[in-house]
Amino acid sequence: MAMANNKTQCFKCKKEKTKYSCRGCSQRFCCTDLAEHKQLLNEELHHITNDYDEFKQRINEQKQNPENYSLIKQINLWEINSIEKIKQKAEEYRENVIKSSQTCINDIEMTFNVLREQIKQIHEENEFNEMKLNYLRNQLMKITEELNNPSKISIEQDSKSFIGEILFVFSKKPKFNKWKQDAITVAAGNGQGHRLNQLCGPHGIFIDKNKNIFIVDRDNHRIVEWKYNAKEGQTIAGGNGRGYLIDQLNRPTDVIVNQQDHSIIITDSENKRMIQWSGQNQTVLIKKIHCWGLAMDKYGFLYVSDCEKNEVRRWKMGEYNNEGIVVAGGNGRRDQLSYPTFIFVDEEQSVYVSDSFNHRVMKWRKDAKEGTVVAGGNGKGKNLSQLYYPGGVIVDHFGQIYVADSWNHRVMRWREGKEEGEIVVGGNNSQGYQPNQLNAPMGISFDDDGNLYVVDSRNQRIQKFEIIV
């Protein structure tokens, strides 16, 4: 502080006294008020000194206890939360593995039960040969291998984050099988006709475990069965002329065989009914439905496409007195489905539909409100990105979609998400009758060895394309 002798007004008391200047604030105080002002400054200095001492203490504490640093606390909290999330995810993945393993075992058990019934039947009938024994031995080897070596699961870490999601990667990779391009005619091929070695406008097909072929002989209004390596078929349903009587059919389109009781279910299309044949007994399951395609899932649910209502419905076995549940299409919207024909249902109950007039194959996941295009969908045409009135559809264990591209006279394979498919068989200089040609293929199927069977509709024959091992 600098002392001045002139008398001016005090900054605080406003009296005319000898004043003293404060260099800090440049104000002038009387002696009394100056002392008080200095006291206030001393107190402020004391507070600041205390604050500095406290800060110094915090520095010392941080040095002695670095774990109390605020960022360390945040990291500790992140660690606790991350561990809890990992525990939750680990438990979820354990449940998934257990569920997947149980599903695999159940599927193997179902296959085993079918084989056991076949062995029982062979014992009862006392009719067997080397071919049947080799088949049973091979099937047992297959399911034994599957039980001993189930699908392995590996773990991948997301490299983009420190703690990434755990992803399941199944060791099975898609197999891009190939087939001999020259087919073997395994049924008919003797021109159009109604004799038992002939067909007329065949459509759907079903191959059983013994490689017996069940054929929808549409324009002969019958279902014929061709035993393995047989020279002619035998009529097992219909064949009594075109009609509406219980023992007649009217241009059927598809068939499936219930291998548990050996009954067959038929889409009796122009009679607008679903009918079951068991030996000589017939039962109408569903009436007033313009049915076309048929499928049955592993739980025994029956799926039927209705090409008039543009939808696919599902029924529980034995409960055909209700209207079923719409699982694809519906609402009469042709942008969803337009004249759906053949269908396929995978292990997850996703429904694949040949959306014929839209020239595409649609996939409807379980409980989905809309489908997605998985093949075609680029207008009718012969490019690899197009289909032309698709027919039969099958999906293998790797999710690869096989389609009978009817008016392009070929069978295509598509991988979901790809813009183009590839030709599997046929498509050689358009339609034809040569072993490497097709003419309006309709139904398609695989046997247990992976051989591809094609209903070569306008050539009135069933073609077998042998897999290249």
Name the helix (H) or strand (E) containing 403: strand 400-405
**DSSP codes, 141-172:** HHHHHHHHSPPPEEEE--TTSSSPPPEEEES-
Q: By C-alpha distance, which of 407, 417, 466, 403 is closest to 438?
A: 407
Name the helix (H) or strand (E) containing 94: helix 70-125
pLDDT, position 364: 96
Q: By C-alpha distance, which of 324, 321, 322 is closest to 313?
A: 324
Q: By C-alpha distance, which of 253, 259, 260 is closest to 275?
A: 253
From residue 251, alpha-carbon distances to 155, 178, 243, 293 in Å are 52, 34, 9, 13
Cβ-based burial of 391 (10 A; exposed 0-12, middle 13-18, buried ≥19): buried
Q: Do 278 and 261 contact (CB within 8 A), yes or no? A: yes
The Cα–Cα gap between 365 and 202 comes to: 30
Neighbours of 335 (CB within 10 A): 9
pLDDT, position 112: 81
The Cα–Cα gap between 96 and 374 comes to: 27
The Cα–Cα gap between 394 and 444 comes to: 7
**In this structure, what are the phi and psi dihedrals at residue 211, rounded to the nearest 5 degrees?**
65, 20
The Cα–Cα gap between 3 and 35 comes to: 13
pLDDT, position 261: 77
pLDDT, position 411: 98
The Cα–Cα gap between 57 and 52 comes to: 9
- pTM, two decimals, is 0.66
Name the helix (H) or strand (E) containing 444: strand 441-446
Q: What is the CA radius of gyration of the chain?
A: 40
- Note the Cα 103 to chain centre separation in Å: 16
Render each residue's pLDDT in the chain as its tens digit; 469 residues: 444 455 678 877 878 878 777 877 778 888 888 888 888 888 888 888 888 788 878 778 777 776 666 667 777 877 888 888 888 878 877 877 777 777 778 778 877 887 788 788 778 777 777 776 777 787 888 788 777 766 555 555 555 555 655 555 544 567 789 999 999 999 999 999 999 999 999 999 999 999 999 999 999 999 999 999 999 999 999 999 999 999 999 999 999 998 777 899 999 999 999 999 998 899 999 999 999 999 999 888 999 999 999 999 999 988 898 899 999 998 767 678 999 999 999 999 999 999 999 999 999 999 998 999 999 999 999 999 999 999 999 999 889 999 999 999 999 999 988 999 999 999 987 899 999 999 999 999 999 999 999 999 999 999 999 999 7
Strand 301-306 and strand 291-296: the pairing is antiparallel
pLDDT, position 1: 46
Give CA angle at 382 (380, 384), nearest 5°.
105
> Which domains are delineated in the chain?
73-170 (no CATH), 178-468 (2.120.10.30)
Neighbours of 392 (CB within 10 A): 28
Q: By C-alpha distance, which of 434, 466, 456, 378 is closest to 205?
A: 456
Strand 461-465 and strand 452-456: the pairing is antiparallel
